[in-house]
Amino acid sequence: MTNIENQKFIALDISGKNYLSWVLDVKLHLSAKKLRHTIDEDNVASNEELATALIFLRHHIDDDLKYEYLTVEDPLKLWQNLNDRFEHLKAVVLPKALND
């Protein structure tokens, strides 16, 4: 992970082990920056807002994930791709957390 000193929180690991906390962190930070709508369906974000959100997302994912999603130029599409890849972890992690 490069530029770790500039990261607001830990980058999404390629294994997805920190996906649930990463999602919460991203939503909170994008909300604080008034960019949360850029990862919502049917958003009406400006090109500048989309670029800023995409830069933010790419800055907070593992370098191997950056390379894998190199051609994705829309923050919503990147968000959806990562969700499709890691959403199954909710079914594994949440029930275990509830039992602890």
Rounded to 10 degrees, the C-alpha dihedral 53/11/20/8 comes to -60
1 close to 63: Cβ distance less than 8 angstroms:
yes
Range of the domain at 50: 18-89
68 located within any domain: yes
11 located within any domain: no
66 located within any domain: yes
60 located within any domain: yes
Residues 99, 54: Cα–Cα separation, whole Å: 36
**pLDDT tens readout for residues 77-97:** 999 999 999 988 765 555 555
8 close to 61: Cβ distance less than 8 angstroms:
no
Q: How many domains does the chain have?
A: 1
**Would you call 99 helix, strand, or coil by DSSP?**
helix
| Ranges of residues in the chain whose predicted pLDDT is under 50 | 1-5
| pTM metric for this prediction | 0.81
**Would you call 34 helix, strand, or coil by DSSP?**
coil
